[in-house]
Amino acid sequence: MNATPSSARPGWFRVVAVLLLLWNLFGLWMCYSQYTMSPDDLAALPEGQRQLFESSPQWLWIAFAVAVVAGTLGALLLVLRKRAALPLFWLSLVAVLVQFGYWLFPGGAMEILGAAAALPMPVTVILVAIVQVWLATKAIARGWIA
């Protein structure tokens, strides 16, 4: 038997799983708040951000929603110690890569905002999405989730 019994799950695992759930709930809130922006809210954005927002194709919003919904459900399942978290985290990672890959390059964020403004959030979100996949994979391999 190679897997560690689930009772040997390290204490940090639950803490990290809850933090990932909070992170994803924040992402869900950001998606909702951006999608429901009023014309006044949009007008209050700096010119570059408003330009990017207005030029975003509908499918990009769908990718954003898929990324945060899949990530949130995956994190909830991780907290509940269910292995179904892994495919949801993979779906979230793919959607994040599609979303930010378009936004940064063909979408124009790098040219409009510059690298210093355009890169920090996408890099952070991509890294967290990778960590989620890694953690769920490790948790399954070690028997921490079933």
pTM of the prediction? 0.92
Q: What is the pLDDT of residue 1?
A: 47
Amino acid identity at 33: S
- CA quadruple 118, 122, 124, 127: dihedral sign: negative
Question: How far apart are alpha carbons 43 and 114 in whole angstroms?
Answer: 21
pLDDT, one tens digit per residue, over 65-103 is 999 999 999 999 999 999 999 999 999 999 999 999 999
Q: Do 118 and 109 meet the contact criterion of CB atoms below 8 Å apart?
A: yes
Question: How far apart are alpha carbons 34 and 51 in whole angstroms?
Answer: 14
End-to-end CA distance of the chain: 15
Question: How far apart are alpha carbons 63 and 93 in whole angstroms?
Answer: 10
